[in-house]
Structure formats: C-alpha cells, structure tokens
C-alpha cells in the first residue's frame, strides 16, 4: 500500500517545487520512493502470474521513472514531477514494449496500460490488426472486466480517417485513436489500505487482453 507519508511528500513538493526544498527533504523523498518501489515489486510478481512475457529479474528500479523533469525544451522550468510513475513492461520502462502503468499522485492515482505514444510503424500495425480482427478487438473492449475497470479506451483521435482507410470505414471510430491505452482510477483512500495491491492487480489483469492483442499486432 502507499503510505500517507508518501502522499504528504508529494503534496508538499507541489507547493515547494524547487531544488533547495527538495534537497532539504531528500530523506523523505527516498522513503516515498522506496514505498512506491515496494508496491511496484509486488505488482510485478502478480503480473508475472498472468503475463508470461516478463523475465524473473525485472524489478521496480527498472520500471519507475525519475522524478526529475527534463526542462530543456519546456517553458515550465520546475525541476520535479509531482507524481511517481512506473511503466511495468518486459525489459523495463525504456523497452518500448506495451505493458502496464502505475501512477501515484494525490487525487490522481490510477493503473492501466496499453500503447500510449506509439511510433508510426506500431500504430499502423495495430490499426491493421483491428481492421483484420475487429470482432476479437471489440470482444476485449466489451468484456465485463474491461468495462468494469476502465470503461473505454482513452486518449486523442485523428480528426479524419488514418492513411490507407476510407472515410466510410465501418470501424473508423476505433481506427482513429492515436494510441491504444486506458486506465482505471483508484482513490487515495484505497491506495492507503491493504486492498491497494488487490485492487491494482484486478485492474492490471483486466488490462492483459488488450496488451496481448497489441503485442500480437506489433510482433
């Protein structure tokens, strides 16, 4: 579970997003990071039970993103992110392989996954798979587990038909997505209980069929 102290650290960071404050509270940051790592390691173990793509030596350290922001090309020069995020994918966060995502932020905790920012080759492959296997894809999106935990796919869509598809394609609404991902909210209160691991695992397991479909398409 996520400790109250972790939420407190992130709330205070949002009010003091500067290097001086952060350095003065480095021990609290390290404790919060360790808390998130503990949850992610437990989730990795759970995911390995239903997704056989994951290697045994994958750990939270391979999956959790740095809290330090890259401000080189941003107008916002605040140095730190206000959340902890982990991309639990085979090969770790930099692998580019669709997997599972965990987001810890006061008032904005969620888990999900899929393909968030695919390259041109990947998105073309998934659209083609949807076109060829529409029935299978719709079955995933309309399943009771998917509806319960996520509702629907998230993210932006193209304003018109993607290249290679007619504007009157019967499944145009599905083909227009710029990425194929979703997520389910978990309240701060639930994240701070022993049910946190159970609730997170249920959502990530419901995520598996979509990930399997996407990986089938791009591999």
The residue range of the domain holding 91 is 4-218
Question: pLDDT value at position 55?
Answer: 79
Q: Report, as an integer, the average pLDDT of 12-28.
A: 97
CA–CA distance, 81 with 67 (Å, rounded to integer): 5
Per-residue pLDDT tens for 109-125?
999 999 998 999 999 99
Confidence band of 96 (pLDDT split at 50, 70, 90):
confident
Question: pLDDT value at position 76?
Answer: 83
Question: pLDDT value at position 101?
Answer: 97
Confidence band of 183 (pLDDT split at 50, 70, 90):
very high
Q: Report, as an integer, the average pLDDT of 178-186.
A: 97
Q: What is this structure's pTM?
A: 0.93
Longest dimension (CA), the chain: 59
Q: Return mean pLDDT, the chain.
A: 95
Chain position carrying tokens 């069929």 = 209
Q: Which of 38, 29, 95, 45 is nearest to 61 (CA)?
A: 38
Angle formed at CA 208 by CA 153 and CA 154, multiple of 5 degrees: 10
CA–CA distance, 110 with 209 (Å, rounded to integer): 18
What is the total count of domains within the chain?
1
């Amino acid at each position: 579970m996520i400790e109250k102290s972790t939420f407190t650290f992130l709330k205070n960071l949002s009010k003091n997003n500067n290097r001086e404050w952060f350095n003065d509270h480095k021990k609290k940051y390290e404790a919060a990071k360790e808390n998130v790592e503990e949850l992610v390691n437990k989730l990795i173990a759970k995911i390995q039970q239903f997704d056989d793509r994951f290697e045994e030596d994958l750990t939270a350290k391979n999956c959790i993103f740095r809290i330090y922001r890259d401000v080189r090309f941003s107008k916002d020069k605040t140095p730190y992110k206000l959340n902890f995020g982990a991309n639990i994918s085979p090969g770790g966060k930099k692998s580019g392989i669709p997997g599972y995502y965990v987001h810890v932020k006061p008032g904005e905790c969620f888990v999900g996954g899929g393909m968030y920012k695919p390259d041109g080759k990947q998105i073309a492959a998934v659209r083609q798979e949807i076109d060829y296997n529409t029935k299978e894809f719709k079955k995933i999106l309309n399943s009771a587990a998917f509806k319960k935990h996520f509702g629907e796919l998230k993210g932006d869509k193209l304003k018109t038909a993607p290249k290679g598809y007619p504007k009157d394609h019967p499944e145009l609404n599905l083909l227009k997505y710029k990425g194929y991902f979703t997520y389910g909210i978990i309240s701060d209160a639930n994240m701070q209980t022993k049910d946190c691991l159970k609730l997170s695992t249920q959502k990530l397991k419901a995520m598996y069929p979509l990930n399997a479909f996407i990986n089938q398409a791009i591999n």
